[in-house]
Structure 1
Amino acid sequence: MSDTSANTSPRADAPAGPGSAAPTSWLQTLRVYLEPASLRMLTLGFAAGLPLLLVLGTLSFRLREAGIDRSTIGYLSWVGLAYGFKWVWAPLVDRMPIPLLTPLMGRRRSWLLLAQLVVAAGLVGMALADPRLTLGPIVGCALAVAFGSATQDIALDAFRIESADANHQAALAASYQTGYRLAMIWAGAGVLWIAARSEVAPAAGALAAQGAAAYQNGAWQTAYLVMAASMAVGIVTVLFSREPAPVQLPPAKNAAEWIRGAVVEPFADFLRRYGWHAALILALIAVYRISDVVMGIMANPFYVDMGFTKDEVAAVTKVYGVIMTLAGAFVGGSLSMRFGVMRILMLGAILSAASNLLFAWLAGHGHDVTALIAVVSADNLAGGIASAAFIAYLSSLTNVSYSATQYALFSSMMLLLPKFVAGFSGDYVNAFGYAHFFLSTALLGLPVLVLVWLASRIKTPSKA
């Protein structure tokens, strides 16, 4: 795949399923990650991954340090439901031009740029808000970030699917996932490191006696402003990228025909191709990442309550998390290309559920940085493998004629149920404790194994 692949759409009838032909050697498999399309996807994946933790995991650390109750933090995680409903406005992103921007940049790049600017502005608003005074402003800005981020995901998924042929989708998925995970580490460990470095030593006797006394909003303000500036990575990439060759769509004669083509037909196409198997596929998509998502909401409050400092969490996540996440993403992408997506999808499901058991063990083990290193490393390795395979699987289900809308449906289904369940995670921890909570999230992964096995028996239909 050369640089011109960014301007070549895959054929609608190209095989894109788990059975696609694999490269003939490991050298060919690895070389694809250095191609321009993969490198672009690396930086765009960074822009996509940056906002997620800043409105969920990292925000939960900030709120817990500010003295906000775990139950409230759990309910505020429903901000992330914006990602679960992005299929609602995906048809607009798929088909509707943006005045001035689209004629200059093209359909995909114009939506990407607009979404990235919304994310950056929302992060600035979150930086300026103080959760100790009122939660309204920070929640409102978090919603704006989530909405902009979800819109960016819609456009970026379509950009990725249209930027390469079917045989390279696993490699692009791995590059995207690597950038995404690096951004999550920067938005998780990096923001904690910046906040810790930005704290000022209080004067003797100045601290109040309440539990939130150590919270310094100025430090978090600096950290979130740096995160807003970090969106420049994606903005610059969009400005210097090429627009994928547009898929030729028949012009709509009236509004009803446009709605049918933009909204109804993408879903009808999926149902026509898979028939009753569509229900099984959607069920798998809906629960595949449930163990990770539900557990992740309480991970940072867990670190705070276990006595881990911002520096400890940042150091462990940044050093060991980076290494194991990169390893997981590349291993998952490479193994998917060589051995088939479904086999690695099963492996990822097993590892993701099992890694939650390590957190249950850590809850009883106590404050131990070495143990935290081991647990975080195993969790990131499992997450990288599972995510790379899952993205490739979702891409294989997508018809390029409706890439943005169909992929938005799949990725929304992936998050909707897990994020709804995660909203009650704070109540569960308050009632039963962290160890029981992490054990329960591991058990949530058991039905996933059955669904992966059943889905692996479905033959991939033609996309013609």
Structure 2
Amino acid sequence: MNTAAASTGQATPAEKPRWRDILASPKMVAIMVLGAASGFPNQITESALQAWLKDSGASNTTIGVLSYVALPYLFKFLWAPVIDRYPLPWLGRRRGWVALTQLALAAAIAVFALQNPAVSLTPIAICAVAIVFFSATQDIAIDAYRTDVAQPNERGLAAAANNLGYRTSAWLASAFALVVADFFGWEPAFLILAAVMAAFCIGTLLAPEPHYAHQPPRTLTESFVVPLRELLGSPSAIAFIALVILFKVGDAFALRLFTPFMMDVGFSKTEIAVVLKALFTASAVIGAILGGVAMVRLGLLNSMLIFGVAQAASNLLYYALALTGKNYPLMVAAVSIDNIAGAMGNIASVALIMALCDTRYSAFQYALLSAFALTPRYLLGGPAGWLADKAGWDMYYVVSVVLALPGLLLVWLMREQIKQLDQPRG
């Protein structure tokens, strides 16, 4: 898989990226802004939607089932070859698609604002699926842009810059929606979010265009068959795909119903928005920066081992919170430590996916691999809601720790193959 990526002929720079590269480089700033655009719509159909449904009287099981509106995130690889094959006639190979989907997202969120879950959940689900579809398409183009523009030894920092923008923007969107909804209702909250989504087009216009030493695939078939053959052609292909799926499964399960959990523990929507989400985001930003910088020295293998153990163990703090109930010091510790560890794990996961991609087909390959990575997050909503209702939140978080163990074992078993991904490209 990595040998295919090496065919692009990129050389690894001799000097490692430095701390200030994240903020000083126009490339890293662009990655951060586009990461913010990517994260902004995500929490509209997750945290905000969950709170909206909770307000309307929906059960945890119903909320869990409606989490399946996010399934387009899993299937985005199906239309990713179109983005590889057909650049739009403006803003270059990737940014044209980014701008188009941002405008479509703004329109879909505005329509979403006009719905009422107390009347019918069907229009809510349809609008949410549309938002997720456009958001997934935006992610395809942004992920490809980041993969194309980052050099091999910049992967950790590029992932950190993306995570910094993504987490901050996701929190702002979620926090704003919850606070405004608490005081003025959900409709004005979502309408303002729609306007902000449209404003992200400015950042897309200003982002630098990557240098491409190759032409787009000549046919739509080539943009699907050749990158798929490259991904599946190596002896370790299936093992790498399993690793991409399993590495974050425990962390994904733990956070799947974060908002309903905190509401059941006793925190209000405003507390969740202002306190919990602020801690969530600040900790994730710290974790992203620490993870990106640490990867320069640790390398991919050591990062996956250390970060993976940390993100699994940190879920036990939510278990303690479930047992004790509303407790501010424990809540601060749980959210802060878990999200620092989880963000560091995410940096390693993103770097792994970037290392497996060939920039000629990065839209399709990254979309496919990230879809594998997101599979637990978007398929476990139903079982997660059922487990929370039937076994309680304490058992829920014990299960989240157990789910993390297979991924850690696989990292150790594949240590030699993972080391090879850190080798300089020829």
Q: Do the structures match in fold with TM over 0.5?
A: yes
Q: Which amino acid letter does the alignment assign opposite residue 117 of structure 1? A: L
Corresponding residue of 2:54? 64
Residues of 2 paired with 1:22 and 1:447: CA distance?
Answer: 35
Between 1:28-37 and 1:337-346, the stretch displaced more is: 28-37
Partner SS state of residue 123, structure 1: helix
Q: Does 1:132 align with 2:114?
A: no
Q: Which has the larger radius of gyration?
A: 1
Please state how far the C-alpha of 1:413 moved relative to its aligned partner: 0.4
Note the C-alpha offset of 1:133.
0.6
Corresponding residue of 1:149: 135
Of the candidates 170, 187, 192, which is equivalent to residue 221 of structure 1?
187
Aligned 8 A contact 1:50 1:187 in 2: yes
TM-score (norm 2): 0.92
Match for residue 184 of structure 1 among 154, 159, 170: 170
Q: How far, CA to CA, are the matches of 1:227 and 1:11 in structure 2?
A: 42
How far has the Cα of 1:259 moved from its partner?
3.7
The one of 313, 326, 329 equivalent to 1:370 is 329
Indicate how the Cα distance of structure 1 residues 22 and 452 shifts in structure 2: closer, same or farther if over 3 A, else same. farther
Once the two structures are superposed, what CA deviation does each residue of 1:280-315 show, in whole Å capped at 9, x if it has no partner? 100011122212222222211112222211121122
Given that 2:85 and 2:217 are in contact with CA atoms closer than 8 Å, whether structure 1 keeps it comes out as no
Q: Does 1:248 align with 2:214?
A: yes
Question: May I ask how many residue pairs the two structures share in their alignment?
Answer: 419
- Say if 1:22 and 1:337, in contact at 8 Å, map to a contact too: no
User: CA–CA distance in 2 between the matches of 1:12 and 1:176?
Assistant: 23
- Distance in 2, matches of 1:430 and 1:371, equals 23
The question of whether the paired residues in 1 share the 8 Å contact of 2:180 and 2:189 is answered with: yes
Task: Find the aligned partners of 2:214 and 2:128 in 1 and give their Cα distance.
Answer: 36
Question: Is 2:16 aligned against 1:23?
Answer: yes
- Counterpart of 2:71, as a letter, is L
Match of 1:12 in 2: 8
Deviation, structure 1 residue 247: 4.7
Q: Which residue of 2 aligns with 1:49?
A: 39
1:280 aligns with 2:239: yes
What's the CA shift for 1:30?
3.4
Larger deviation, residues 138-147 vs 179-188: 179-188
* SS class of match (1:340): helix
Equivalent position SS for 2:266: coil
Give CA-to-partner distance per residue, 1:166-191, whole Å, 9 cap, x none. 22222111100100110121123232
Indicate the percent of aligned positions where both proteins have the same amino acid: 34
Contact kept, 8 Å, 1:44 with 1:237, in 2: the verdict is yes
Tell me how far apart the structure 2 counterparts of residues 463 and 405 of structure 1 sit (CA, whole Å). Answer: 21
Paired residues for 1:256-295 under 5 Å: 258-272=219-233, 275-295=234-254
Q: C-alpha offsets along residues 407-447 of structure 1, whole Å, 9 cap, x if unaligned?
A: 11110000124421222211111111111011101110000
Deviation at 1:22, TM superposition (A): 6.2
Secondary structure of the residue that 2:116 maps to in structure 1?
Answer: coil
What aligned pairs does 1:21-420 form with structure 2 within 5 A after superposition? 23=16, 28-97=18-87, 102-198=88-184, 219-249=185-215, 252=218, 258-272=219-233, 275-420=234-379
Partner of residue 433, structure 1:
392
Residues 207-253 of structure 1, C-alpha deviations (whole Å, 9 max, x = no match) = xxxxxxxxxxxx1112212222221453111122233234523773x
CA shift, 1:463, in A, is: 6.9
Amino acid at match of 1:13: G
**Contact residue 253 and residue 384 of structure 2 kept, 8 A:** yes
SS at structure 2 position matched to 1:129: coil
Asked if 2 retains the 8 angstrom alpha-carbon contact of 1:45 and 1:175, the reply is yes
Structure 2 Cα separation of the partners of residues 22 and 233 of structure 1: 36
Structure 2: unaligned runs, 5 residues or longer: none
1:61-91 CA-partner distances (Å, limit 9, x unpaired): 2211210111111111111221111111110
- Match of 2:315, SS? helix
Residue deviations 1:22-59 (CA, integer Å, cap 9, x gap): 628xxx23344321111111111011011112112321
Corresponding residue for 1:209? none
Distance 1:345 1:369 in 2: 31
Instruction: Summarize the Cα distance change of 1:250–1:228 in structure 2 as closer, same or farther, 3 Å threshold.
Output: closer
Q: Which residue of structure 2 lines up, in the alignment, with residue 203 of structure 1?
A: none
What is the SS of the residue equivalent to 1:23?
coil
In structure 2, what is the Cα distance between the partners aligned to 1:379 and 1:389? Answer: 16
| 5+ residue gaps, structure 1 | 1-8, 199-218, 253-257
Partners of 1:11 and 1:334 lie apart in 2 by: 27
CA contact (8 A) 1:185 1:318 kept: yes
What SS does the corresponding residue of 1:231 show, helix, strand or coil? helix
Q: Match for 1:223: what amino acid?
A: A
Alignment deviations for residues 129-156 of structure 1 (CA, whole Å, 9 cap, x no partner): 1111101111111101110111111101
The alignment partner of 1:242 has SS state of: coil
CA contact (8 A) 1:82 1:143 kept: yes
1:163 to 1:31, Cα distance in 2 relative to 1, 3 A: closer
CA root-mean-square deviation:
2.2
Quick check: 1:312–1:369 contact (8 Å CA) kept in 2? no
In the superposition, the TM-score normalised over structure 1's length comes to 0.85
Match of 1:423 among 374, 382, 397: 382
